[in-house]
Amino acid sequence: MAITPAKSSQYTMQDGTHATILRAPSSDVGSKLRASYGKLTFTAAGTGTAKMLRLPPGKVRVHTDLCRVVCPVGTATADLHVGYAAYTGGDGVAVVADDNAFADNVDVGGGAIDAAFSLPAGGFLEFDSLDGVDIEVMIDTANSPAAGDLVVSVVYQMGN
């Protein structure tokens, strides 16, 4: 049995056999991979949320398997979350925050981490925003490290 359908939507939009030529979005075909980096140097132990970087406005596809979070060991039982803040979607509608979009309850109390984002399953998360999307790290349950660097690196795809 053959695969049905036999062409992706993007391929169909590019194959030129339509009466009206459709164009695949630039975020799908011919786009560029870009990377953003955020580093926070801890000066005291504590809990809470830190803004690490802002993704640009427009349509952005995050390649989560290429993204990383690095954090020194915190107080025993400390948990780390990587997510995004609330933002305004490209259609003007408010989008709620998700503090666990990329990593949920990573045990930084048990040891230092250097890991790829573990969420969402499938390796991609897409945004369409008017003003960009803030990537945040939250540490809860127990205190963050008192010293050292927290680093977040996000690899994303967007149109030319």
Residue 15 located in a structural domain: no
Residue 126 located in a structural domain: yes
What's the total number of domains in the chain? 1
Contact status, residue 60 vs residue 159, Cβ threshold 8 Å: no
Q: How far apart are CA 119 and CA 116, in angstroms?
A: 9
Instruction: Please give the pLDDT value at position 122.
Output: 85
Residue located via tokens 């062409």: 7
Residue 70 located in a structural domain: yes
Residue 5 located in a structural domain: no
Q: Which two tokens stand for residue 89?
A: 């979607």
Residue 148 located in a structural domain: yes
DSSP annotation string for 44-104: S---EEEEEEEEPSEEEEEEGGG-EEEE---STT-EEEEEE--EEBTTS-EE--EEEEEEE
Residue 14 located in a structural domain: no
Q: Name the pTM for this structure.
A: 0.83
* Average pLDDT, 10 consecutive residues per value, the chain (160 residues): 66 58 57 92 94 96 96 94 97 97 94 93 93 96 94 90
Contact status, residue 115 vs residue 102, Cβ threshold 8 Å: no
Residue located via tokens 């803030």: 134
Contact status, residue 113 vs residue 69, Cβ threshold 8 Å: yes
Residue of 82, 88, 77, 98 lying closest to 40 (CA atoms): 82
CATH number at 87 reads 2.60.120
Q: Which two tokens stand for residue 78?
A: 């400390």
Residue 119 located in a structural domain: yes
Instruction: Please give the pLDDT value at position 126.
Output: 94
Residue 19 located in a structural domain: no
Q: How far apart are CA 77 and CA 106, in angstroms?
A: 10
- Domain that residue 69 falls in: 26-158
